[in-house]
A = this chain, B = another copy of it.
Amino acid sequence: VFWYDGSLRESASVEFDLRDRGLTLGDGVFDTSLARNGCTFRRKAHLDRLIVDAEILAIPFPETTAAQALDKLAAAVGDGAVRLTLTRGAGPRGLPLPKDPRPILFGVGIPQPRTTTFPVLTLSTTPIRRNETSPVSRVKALPYLDGILAYEEAKQRGADEVLFENTRGHVACLASANIFAVFGQHLVTPPVGDGVLAGTTRAFVITKARDLGYEVTERSLGIDKFSRAEAIFATSSLRLIAPCRSLDAMSFDSAENEIVKRLQVAIRDAVVEECGRL
C-alpha cells in the first residue's frame, strides 16, 4: 500500500515529475519504521528524526502530512514496515537549490518485509569507508549506493551484512543498522561524529541499557578493539536487536550474551506496551 499526494493508494504507479531532485540527485531523506497492530513503534522518535534530517538538508518538512502518512500506512499495513520518503521536489538541472522548493512526500507500507525482528547476523568488513567528513553520513539520506555495493559484496562472501569502518579506521555502522560492542557490563557504540546515523533503536538501547544498570559509552573504536568484544549486536527499526555471530573469520557468542538477551526482552516489552503486540 502506498501514500502519495495526500492519500493512500493501492498502486505504486503515480504521476511523478522527472525533474524531482530525489530522483535526479538523491536529494532527500527517508525513514523506515516497524508497524505492529496498526501502530508505529517509537512513532515520535521516527518523526523527530525525519524533521532533524530534513533540517540538516534544508528541506522544508511537511509535518502534518508526514504524521498522517505514517499513521495511515501503519494502520493499513497492520504488522509490517513503513517507509516515508521526502525529496526536495522538482528543480532545474544542476546542483543549486531551487528557490521555491516544493518537497514531495510519499510512503510505502510493506505487510511482510524480508527483514525479520531479532535475526542472528554474520558480518563482513569492506574496503569501502564510511565518509564521516560529510554531514550526509549522519543523515538517513537517499544516497545508498555505497551500502548497496558493500552489501552485495558481503552477500557474495556469504555474510548477511557489512560492517563499515570510517576514513579514520574507526568502526562506524552496518549498511542499514547501528552497531554495539559488549565488554563485560559495558556497552560501546560509535559516536555520531564517526559517520553514523542517530538511529531510533540505537537511542532506545542507550537509554534502556543505562536503566538496566549497564554503562554505555559513545566512543570511537578501532576494528582490533572492537573484535575483542564479548558480544556485538546491530540495532535497526525492523530488526530491533540483532546479535552478530561472526565478523569475517571471527566468531562471537552474541546471541547467548546476557546483556543482549535482556535488551531483546526489554525492546520486545516496549513494542508490546506501545503497540499491544510484537
Contact = CB atoms under 8 A, between A and B. Distances in A.
Contact of A108 (B19, B83, B155, B175): B19
A129 B96 CA distance: 19
Contact of A148 (B23, B87, B95, B114): B95
Contacts of A22: 23
A93 B110 contact: yes
B16 A13 contact: yes
B85 A24 contact: yes
Interface in A194-211: none
Given A15-B13, A15-B14, A167-B129, A151 B23 contact: no
Interface stretch (A25-33, A36-44, A60-68, A224-232): A25-33
Interface size class of chain A, counting residues whose CB lies under 8 Å from the partner chain = 35 or more
A152 interface: yes
A25 to B, nearest CB: 4
Given A12-B90, A23-B23, A129-B133, 8 more contacts: A22-B23, A23-B142, A26-B144, A97-B148, A97-B152, A128-B131, A141-B145, A142-B143
30 contacts: A13-B15, A13-B17, A14-B15, A14-B16, A14-B18, A16-B16, A16-B18, A18-B108, A23-B87, A24-B30, A24-B142, A25-B148, A27-B145, A57-B145, A58-B152, A92-B114, A93-B108, A93-B113, A95-B144, A95-B148, A96-B114, A96-B155, A129-B131, A133-B167, A134-B145, A134-B149, A136-B145, A136-B146, A142-B145, A143-B145
